[in-house]
């Protein structure tokens, strides 16, 4: 683990109302090409949805993870503080949190899709992701065909749910990854599907990864449609941390391996 401190205070969902009331930026401001403006002056407010380890998760009452580490770099480059707000993933991926002024940026392992690009503006991709299958240890479930007719736990409003539905599986929705894991351990579902990178931390004597489903997915950070100033700043930081080795350090810290060279 590296010595950099990327921990942030955990903010309750109730803080959403406060974030909306403290807005100092107008819609016109957000759409300009000048310096970024923020819903709270001097603070980059980020909506995220833990538990989604290693991208965002709680540790000792604070939100940490690969996503949080990167958005901290963005805030540092902008010369502002960083605040996180915990919201359901549906509001994050739909653009509702951005449109309502709950946050300036959404960061929650969000796969860039054409549908979502119609609801927000995405940064350059920062992480390659595929879907994975988590099953009870010793299970023979290791392929799409083996899952036919079984109950497969998925996280609502995710590309994992879409993939399962498109491939004829019987998905059972859960609001977040933590509830998926609990359901699998309790035998309420036969297996769960989610991004492969977030399943590794749950592998133990009782659970294992059955297989990976290559999908070519990539993660991006989202800003309100038309917020060019903030989007440019986010992309500038992503380019900077790729060039100076910061991204590789963050990746190694939370993923456990060096990023693949592309």
Q: Are residues 196 and 109 located together in one domain of the fold?
A: no
pLDDT class of 95 with cuts at 50, 70, 90 = very high
Overall pTM surpassing 0.85 (yes/no): no
Q: What percent of the chain has pLDDT above 90?
A: 84
Q: CA dist 223 to 45, 155, 228, 233, 240, Å?
A: 11, 22, 9, 11, 19
Q: Are residues 109 and 21 located together in one domain of the fold?
A: yes
Number of domains present in the structure of the chain: 2
Could you tell me if residue 2 is inside a domain? no
Of 17-31, 83-97, 145-159, 207-221, least confident by mean pLDDT is 17-31
Angle, helices 246-255/66-78, rounded to nearest 10 degrees: 150
Whole-number pLDDT of residue 34: 84
Average of per-residue pLDDT across 124-135: 96
Q: Are residues 17 and 141 located together in one domain of the fold?
A: no
Q: Which range marks the domain in which residue 153 is found? A: 130-217
Rounded CA separation 110/90 (Å): 11
Neighbours of 103 (CB within 10 A): 29
Residue 183 in 3-state DSSP? helix
Per-residue tokens: 201:
């931390």
Decide: 225 and 231 in contact? Cβ < 8 Å. no
Rounded CA separation 208/191 (Å): 10
Whole-number pLDDT of residue 262: 58
Whole-number pLDDT of residue 258: 87
Per-residue tokens: 8:
């942030």
Q: Exposure string (b/e) for 26-46, b if CB count within 10 Å is 16 or more? A: eeeebeeeeebbbbbeebbbb
Q: What's the mean per-residue pLDDT of the chain?
A: 89
pLDDT tens readout for residues 7-50 = 444 433 333 333 333 333 444 444 445 899 999 999 999 999 99
Q: Are residues 14 and 111 located together in one domain of the fold?
A: yes
Rounded CA separation 70/76 (Å): 10
């Amino acid at each position: 683990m590296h010595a950099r401190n990327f921990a942030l205070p955990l903010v309750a969902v109730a803080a959403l109302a406060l974030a909306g009331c403290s807005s100092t930026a107008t819609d016109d401001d957000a759409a300009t090409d000048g310096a970024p403006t923020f819903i709270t002056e001097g603070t980059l407010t980020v909506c995220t949805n833990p538990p989604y380890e290693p991208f965002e998760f709680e540790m000792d009452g604070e939100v940490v993870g690969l996503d949080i580490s990167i958005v901290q770099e963005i805030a540092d480059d902008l010369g502002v503080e960083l605040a996180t707000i915990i919201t359901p993933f549906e509001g994050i991926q739909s653009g509702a949190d951005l449109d309502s002024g709950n946050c300036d940026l959404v960061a929650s392992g969000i796969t860039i899709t054409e549908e979502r690009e119609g609801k927000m503006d995405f940064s350059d991709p920062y992480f390659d992701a595929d879907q994975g299958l988590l099953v009870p240890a010793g299970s023979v479930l290791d392929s799409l065909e083996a899952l036919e007719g079984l109950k497969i736990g998925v996280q609502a409003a995710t590309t994992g749910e879409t993939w399962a539905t498109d491939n004829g599986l019987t998905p059972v929705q859960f609001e977040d990854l933590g509830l998926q894991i609990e359901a699998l351990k309790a035998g309420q579902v036969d297996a769960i599907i989610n991004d492969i990178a977030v399943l590794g931390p749950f592998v133990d004597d009782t659970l294992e990864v059955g297989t990976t489903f290559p999908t070519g997915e990539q993660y991006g950070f989202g800003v309100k449609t038309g917020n060019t100033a903030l989007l440019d700043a986010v992309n500038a930081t992503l380019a900077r941390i790729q060039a100076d080795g910061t991204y590789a350090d963050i990746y190694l810290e939370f993923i456990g391996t060096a990023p693949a060279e592309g």
